[in-house]
Amino acid sequence: MLEGKVVIITGGTRGIGLETVKVFKENKAEVILFGSRKETVEEAISKLKEENMEVKGYYPNLDNPEEINKVIGEIIKEYGKIDVLINNAGISANKKIEDTTSEEFAKIMNLNVNAIFNMTKAVVPYMKQNNEGVILNTSSMVSIYGQPSGVGYPASKFAVNGLTKSLSRELAPFHIRVNAVAPGITKTDMVAALPKEMIEPLIKTIPLGRIGEPRDIANAFLFLASDLASYITGEILSVDGAARC
Residue 79 lies in a domain: yes
Q: Which residues are catalytic?
A: 153
Q: 3-state DSSP call for residue 205? A: coil
pLDDT at position 222 over 90: yes
Mean pLDDT of all residues in 98-116? 95
> Edge-to-edge strand order for the sheet containing 56-58?
56-58, 30-34, 6-10, 84-87, 133-138, 176-183, 236-239
Residue 140 lies in a domain: yes
**Domains in the chain: how many in total?**
1
Residue 207 lies in a domain: no
Mean pLDDT of all residues in 174-187? 95
Domain of residue 94 covers 6-184+214-236
Residue 200 lies in a domain: no
Mean pLDDT of all residues in 179-205? 82
Residue pLDDT, tens place only, 52-88: 999 999 999 999 999 999 999 999 999 999 999 999 9
Geometric angle at alpha carbon 158, from 232 and 107, rounded to 5°: 125
pLDDT at position 94 over 90: no
- Give the CATH number for residue 227: 3.40.50.720
Cite the DSSP H helix spans in the chain: 15-26, 38-50, 65-79, 102-109, 115-130, 142-145, 152-171, 189-192, 196-204, 214-225
> Higher confidence at residue 199 or residue 114?
114
Residue 128 lies in a domain: yes
- The whole-number pLDDT of residue 76 equals 98
Q: Are 216 and 173 in contact (CB under 8 A)?
A: no
Whole-number average pLDDT of the chain: 94
pLDDT at position 7 over 90: yes
Percentage of residues in the chain with pLDDT exceeding 90?
A: 85
Residue 205 lies in a domain: no
**Cα–Cα distance for residue pair 139/183, rounded to 1 Å:** 7
Residue 133 lies in a domain: yes
- The whole-number pLDDT of residue 93 equals 85
Residue 204 lies in a domain: no
Percentage of residues in the chain with pLDDT exceeding 70?
A: 97
